[in-house]
Chains A and B, each alone.
Chain A
Amino acid sequence: MSAAAPAAAAQAAIAAPDAARDFRIAFAIMTALLIAAPFVVYPVFLMQALCFALFACAFNLLIGYVGLLSFGHAMFMGFAGYIAAHLAKVGSIDFTLPLIGVGPHWRFGPLPPLVAIAAGVVCSALLGLLVGALAIRRQGIYFAMITLALAQMVYFFCLQAPFTHGEDGIQSVPRGKLLGIDLSVDLSMYFFVLAIFLTGFLLIYRIIHSPFGEVLKAIRENEARAVSLGYSVDRYKLAAFVLSAALSGLAGATKSLAMQNASLTDVHWSMSGEVVLMTLIGGLGTIFGPVVGAFVIIAMLQYLSPFGQWVTIMQGVIFVVCVLAFRRGVIGELAAVWRKSL
């Protein structure tokens, strides 16, 4: 998204000395709000919003800082959700191959929540490695189309694979216990989800501000120059892709435990579109933008749902308006007004 990027980069340059302090203030405000929120707002809604916020941040790592538009990110979130839900509820691994009908099959029973989530993250990272290796062979628009098509393939896999239970999804996933705390209480689960979100969020912040992150931004600004400087651009892209996939998987795995189900909704292309929208409305390439975007979109889905498909229409309108007139997003505009890097 090279068009928006230079503006943001220029912004960052102006505000650079204060950037770390600004971040700390903004982060403290966000954390305080999120700690207070479940005592005012329905915690299940907040958990959902936090998972999507992490998902959007992971997606933003790719589009905002490497300039790669993945239109199939739902595959990582949804697939990790299935893996975590399956392991937390059933706990078996079955590699029986279709057509031949043989393969290893282990049963070990339901796993604790952290292990199930970790397994989900590992699987989405592996999936990210496969998809990324294919998709980075093409650039720009083709990259978007390829990720979309591969995500659709994962969708059909999830529709037909036995362990996902197709249309029915995996229901009544147990949240389990963590350090003796019963997570089936919504409030306990909320703070567990919040801890995961904050960890993921800080990790993304660290990645962006590491030397690795600086190379990613160099690739976004001018890929040819990065190549001529001797960076093996494809490796950096792939590493970023895998990181983004793994973090999306973290969001999806956590969500499937928090919402106690894993379903086709989370691997569907419309979910891939939704995360693009969250990031776009919040501000591409801003740190807090995806979080704001996720809360806006999830609140919209929640509170406008009585109006049926008007929600879809509104999402479409927001897309059009953002692209035509509002390419910096909410946080991007605020950052420009306040001359801060957010």
Chain B
Amino acid sequence: MRLTTATAIAALTLGAFGAQAQDKTVKIGNLNDMSSLYADIGGPGSTLAAQMAAEDSGLVAKGWKIEVIGGDHQNKPDVGGSIARQWYDVDNVDLIVDTPNSGVALAVSQITKDKNRVFLNSGAASSDLTGKACSPNTIHWTYDTYALANTTGKAVVKAGGDSWFFLTSDYAFGHALERDTEAVVLASGGKVAGKVRHPLNTPDFSSFLLQAQTSKAKIIGLANAGGDTTNSIKQASEFGIASGGQQLAALLLFVNDVHALGLNVAQGLTFTESFYWDLNEQTRGFSDRFAKRSKGGAKPSMVQAGTYSAVLHYLKALEALGGNPKDGAKVVAKMKEMPTDDPIFGKGTIRQDGRKIHPVYLFEVKKPAESKGPWDYYKLKATVPADEAFRPMKDGGCPLVKG
């Protein structure tokens, strides 16, 4: 648990107006993987994003006190759970954001519900967060396994990749991504030749890749993320997977992964994201400001951008409520009531089951010759409109959805 007090801004000049009954202090905790395979995708960059949202909300000038802290869950649900518990019990944190790693996210979602606070998830993928594990205190913000499967899976099968072998990260996220993708593959007329589960944060994929090779499936679906995905892609090239006629489908790839792989290795991969820094004027504007302050000048990943968007909307809801009611369910209900609008995803809404709705995009990694330089990596292949991108509410099995 790494606590970094990122911002603690007291509004001294407006202190005279502080006599109102409403509490205008907010404490935001970015619970993240700060040191391991997801640290580049979320990590300290998400703390920065939350901090930028606090600054851009304009609330500080109106007499609010907003503090952003960060903690390292080390990808362990028990560590993440005990940090969350302590943040709520001892440190009076109102909101936990981001939290990649679906295993940790599901634990935190439950604790948030027990303590009636707010959990805005950007980094975790499992569609269970708005399915059977949905909660009146949780909003799943940026993307989910259903959206990934539905977009990438369909596109790959349509292009002729009709037999699949899954290389799956062995925890909640991988299982959900494999499950959702398998459903799409089968529904689109493809078949699944086999699957193998690998531990989180695996250095050597060779024996798993050999099993995939033996299956003779046309597509090796990588149901993993971050460092695990980049490692599988690199080692697949070492073992000559492509020369054997098999193709890799990276079901979840982030701009930082492409940056780490380099275009030579990554070119041609097709995958799904809901944000890319170079989509339009607004995304470029935000990303430039982000890159000026991020480590190594990195552009924001979709997870970090989503964290910004989520915190911004949360603060808007608090402002509309006239203060911090210290009642998580009430704040989330207000957030669902208000339409969202921000530079990241444009206009959108939040569904009753806690799913934030916006378009998602199918991208292809550029060839080295097509790229104008670092971070110029994606070609937009297709846009899936907001109402088609995510799982229909009735299919999720969320108990909050009536009817």
Q: How far is the CB of B357 from chain A (nearest CB, A)?
A: 27
Q: Is the Cβ of B90 less than 8 Å from the Cβ of A171?
A: no
Is residue A182 contacting chain B, with contact meaning CB distance below 8 A? no
The CB with the most chain B CB atoms within 10 A, among A44, A260, A266, is that of A260
Q: Is the Cβ of B35 less than 8 Å from the Cβ of A308?
A: yes
Excluding A44-B82, A159-B199, A266-B78, 5 further A-B contacts by CB distance (< 8 Å) are A167-B75, A167-B103, A265-B76, A305-B2, A306-B4
Contact of A171 among B3, B4, B77, B170 (CB under 8 A): B77
Is residue B172 contacting chain A, with contact meaning CB distance below 8 A? yes
Q: Is the Cβ of B171 less than 8 Å from the Cβ of A261?
A: no
Q: Is the Cβ of A261 less than 8 Å from the Cβ of B107?
A: yes
Q: With A159-B199, A308-B2 given, is the CB distance from A264 to B110 under 8 Å?
A: no
Q: Is the Cβ of A42 less than 8 Å from the Cβ of B89?
A: yes
List of 3 A-B pairs having minimum Cβ-Cβ separation, nearest first: A167-B171, A168-B103, A263-B78
Contact of B199 among A167, A168, A259, A260 (CB under 8 A): A167
Q: Is the Cβ of B78 less than 8 Å from the Cβ of A259?
A: yes
Complex: A254 Cα to B25 Cα, angstroms: 37
Q: Is the Cβ of A265 less than 8 Å from the Cβ of B78?
A: yes
Residues in A with CB closer than 8 Å to B2 are: 305-308
Bitwise, A297-315 to B at CB < 8 A (1) or not (0) is: 0000000011111000000
Q: With A42-B89, A167-B200, A305-B1 given, is the CB distance from A264 to B106 under 8 Å?
A: no
Bitwise, A303-334 to B at CB < 8 A (1) or not (0) is: 00111110000000000000000000000000
Is residue A31 contacting chain B, with contact meaning CB distance below 8 A? no
Q: In residues 1-60 of chain B, which contact A (Cβ within 8 Å)?
A: 1-4, 34-35
Q: Is the Cβ of A171 less than 8 Å from the Cβ of B89?
A: no
Q: Is the Cβ of A167 less than 8 Å from the Cβ of B110?
A: no
Is residue B328 contacting chain A, with contact meaning CB distance below 8 A? no
Q: Which residue of A lies closest to B81 (CB)?
A: A261
Residues in A with CB closer than 8 Å to B78 are: 169, 259, 261, 263, 265-266
Q: In residues 81-137 of chain B, which contact A (Cβ within 8 Å)?
A: 81-82, 85-86, 89-90, 102-103, 106-107, 110-111
Is residue A96 contacting chain B, with contact meaning CB distance below 8 A? no
Complex: A166 Cα to B198 Cα, angstroms: 11
Is residue B242 contacting chain A, with contact meaning CB distance below 8 A? no
Residues of B whose CB lies within 8 Å of any CB of A are 1-4, 34-35, 72, 75-79, 81-82, 85-86, 89-90, 102-103, 106-107, 110-111, 170-172, 199-200
The CB with the most chain B CB atoms within 10 A, among A167, A265, A266, is that of A167
Q: Which residue of B lies closest to A309 (CB)?
A: B35
Is residue A172 contacting chain B, with contact meaning CB distance below 8 A? yes
Complex: A264 Cα to B171 Cα, angstroms: 12
Bitwise, A147-167 to B at CB < 8 A (1) or not (0) is: 000000000000100000011
Q: How far is the CB of B319 from chain A (nearest CB, A)?
A: 31
Bitwise, A259-278 to B at CB < 8 A (1) or not (0) is: 11101111000000000000
Q: Is the Cβ of A168 less than 8 Å from the Cβ of B81?
A: no
Q: How far is the CB of A46 from chain B (nearest CB, A)?
A: 13
Q: Which residue of A lies closest to B4 (CB)?
A: A306
Contact of B106 among A44, A159, A171 (CB under 8 A): A171
Q: Which residue of A lies closest to B1 (CB)?
A: A305
Q: How far is the CB of A212 from chain B (nearest CB, A)?
A: 36
Q: How far is the CB of B100 from chain A (nearest CB, A)?
A: 13
Residues in B with CB closer than 8 Å to A265 are: 76, 78-79
Q: Is the Cβ of A166 less than 8 Å from the Cβ of B107?
A: no
Contact of B77 among A44, A261, A307, A308 (CB under 8 A): A261
Complex: A261 Cα to B107 Cα, angstroms: 9
Q: Is the Cβ of B77 less than 8 Å from the Cβ of A42?
A: no
Complex: A47 Cα to B200 Cα, angstroms: 30
Q: With A305-B2, A306-B3, A308-B2 given, is the CB distance from A168 to B77 under 8 Å?
A: yes
Q: Is the Cβ of A171 less than 8 Å from the Cβ of B76?
A: no
Q: Is the Cβ of A171 less than 8 Å from the Cβ of B81?
A: yes
Q: How far is the CB of B71 from chain A (nearest CB, A)?
A: 9
Residues in B with CB closer than 8 Å to A308 are: 2, 34-35, 72
Complex: A309 Cα to B76 Cα, angstroms: 15
Q: Is the Cβ of A42 less than 8 Å from the Cβ of B107?
A: no
Q: How far is the CB of B37 from chain A (nearest CB, A)?
A: 12
**Mind listing 20 A-B residue pairs with CB under 8 Å?**
A42-B86, A44-B82, A159-B170, A159-B199, A167-B77, A167-B172, A168-B102, A168-B106, A169-B103, A171-B81, A172-B107, A172-B110, A261-B77, A261-B78, A261-B107, A263-B76, A265-B78, A265-B79, A305-B1, A306-B2
Complex: A263 Cα to B1 Cα, angstroms: 17
Complex: A165 Cα to B210 Cα, angstroms: 26
Residues in B with CB closer than 8 Å to A172 are: 107, 110-111
Q: With A42-B86, A42-B90 given, is the CB distance from A167 to B107 under 8 Å?
A: no
Contact of A263 among B34, B77, B85, B170 (CB under 8 A): B77
Residues in B with CB closer than 8 Å to A260 are: 81
Q: With A167-B103, A172-B110, A261-B77 given, is the CB distance from A44 to B85 under 8 Å?
A: yes
The CB with the most chain B CB atoms within 10 A, among A159, A171, A308, is that of A171
Q: Is the Cβ of B1 less than 8 Å from the Cβ of A169?
A: no
Q: How far is the CB of B159 from chain A (nearest CB, A)?
A: 33
Residues in B with CB closer than 8 Å to A44 are: 82, 85-86, 89
Complex: A291 Cα to B301 Cα, angstroms: 46
Complex: A168 Cα to B111 Cα, angstroms: 15
Residues in B with CB closer than 8 Å to A171 are: 77, 81, 106-107, 110
Complex: A162 Cα to B68 Cα, angstroms: 38
Residues in A with CB closer than 8 Å to B85 are: 44
Q: Which residue of A lies closest to B69 (CB)?
A: A306
Complex: A137 Cα to B82 Cα, angstroms: 40
Q: How far is the CB of A18 from chain B (nearest CB, A)?
A: 42
